[in-house]
């Protein structure tokens, strides 16, 4: 999760991972993307990337993000679209919303497709993964990437207090980084949705 997407860090021990990724992040966020989108407010764009990187696996809306950053909602929505088009982030929609209009206008989750960049943009390093609050979000994000890679489309479910972390094709997933978990409610919900249920934890994955 800290450096796996950059094999050169592993194969070249003389490289400083933090400096390497920060230099790369600076190149991508401040030069490469603005080069193709000249109207970008670079400072605001970087703030969007940092905020999304900090709030991985959380629900977000362009309106809420615009209020936090004191910016125009349409500009924020455009920046998120650019981040999707450049494969830096992926928006995960709520499968509980049946209409596409509701999916697009309602709350969504955001996940990074480059955990190394997201980790370091917030000044984190691998030691921060020892913090369960940080690890939980990045672990869920990592699983999202793997499920997206396998199924091509991933959504989540959250309606009336009932939720599942991920839903893809005929499967539903709950991601946990702790122990002593009561999975009955998730299994029942998966059954209602006619999905096969998987529990994925940091230690092992069970088919239930």
CATH, residue 12: 1.10.10
In this prediction, residues 160-174 reach a mean pLDDT of 93
The answer to the question of residue 197 being in a domain is no
Q: Is residue 202 predicted with pLDDT exceeding 80?
A: no
Q: What is the mean pLDDT of residues 197-201?
A: 89
In a domain? residue 207: no
Structure tokens belonging to residue 157: 């479910």
**Is 200 inside any structural domain?**
no
State the DSSP string of 6-57. Answer: -HHHHH-TTS-HHHHHHHHHHHIIIIIHHHH-TT--HHHHHHHHHHHHHTTT
Establish if 45 belongs to a structural domain.
Answer: yes
The average confidence (pLDDT) of the chain is: 86
For the cut 90, the answer to whether the pLDDT of residue 153 exceeds it is yes
In a domain, 23, yes or no: yes
* Cα Dmax for the chain: 53
Q: How many domains are contained in the chain?
A: 1
Whether residue 174 is contained in a domain is answered as: no
Euclidean distance between CA atoms 79 and 163, whole angstroms: 28
Q: Say yes or no to pLDDT of 173 above 70.
A: yes
Average pLDDT over residues 124-135: 79
Does a structural domain hold residue 37? yes
Query: What is the tens place of the pLDDT at every residue in 80-103?
Result: 999 999 889 999 999 988 888 888
Residue 11 lies in a domain: yes
Task: Give tens-digit pLDDT for 52-64.
Answer: 988 888 888 888 8
């Amino acid at each position: 999760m800290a450096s796996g997407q950059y094999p050169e860090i592993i194969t070249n021990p003389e490289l400083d991972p933090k400096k390497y990724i920060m230099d790369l992040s600076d190149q991508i966020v401040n030069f490469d993307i603005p080069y193709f989108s000249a109207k970008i407010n670079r400072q605001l764009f970087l703030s969007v990337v940092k905020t999304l990187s900090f709030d991985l696996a959380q629900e977000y809306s362009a309106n809420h993000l615009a209020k936090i950053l004191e910016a125009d909602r349409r500009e924020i929505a455009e920046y998120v679209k650019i981040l999707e088009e450049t494969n830096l982030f992926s928006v995960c929609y709520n499968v509980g919303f049946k209409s596409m209009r509701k999916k697009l206008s309602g709350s969504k989750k955001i996940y990074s497709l480059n955990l190394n960049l997201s980790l370091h943009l917030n000044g984190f390093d691998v030691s921060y993964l020892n913090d369960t609050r940080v690890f939980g979000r990045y672990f869920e994000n990592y699983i999202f990437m793997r499920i997206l890679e396998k199924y091509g489309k991933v959504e989540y479910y959250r309606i009336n207090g009932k939720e599942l972390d991920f839903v893809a094709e005929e499967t539903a997933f709950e991601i946990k980084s702790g122990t002593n978990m009561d999975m009955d409610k998730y299994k029942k919900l998966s059954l209602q949705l006619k999905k096969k249920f998987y529990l994925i934890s940091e230690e092992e994955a069970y088919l239930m």
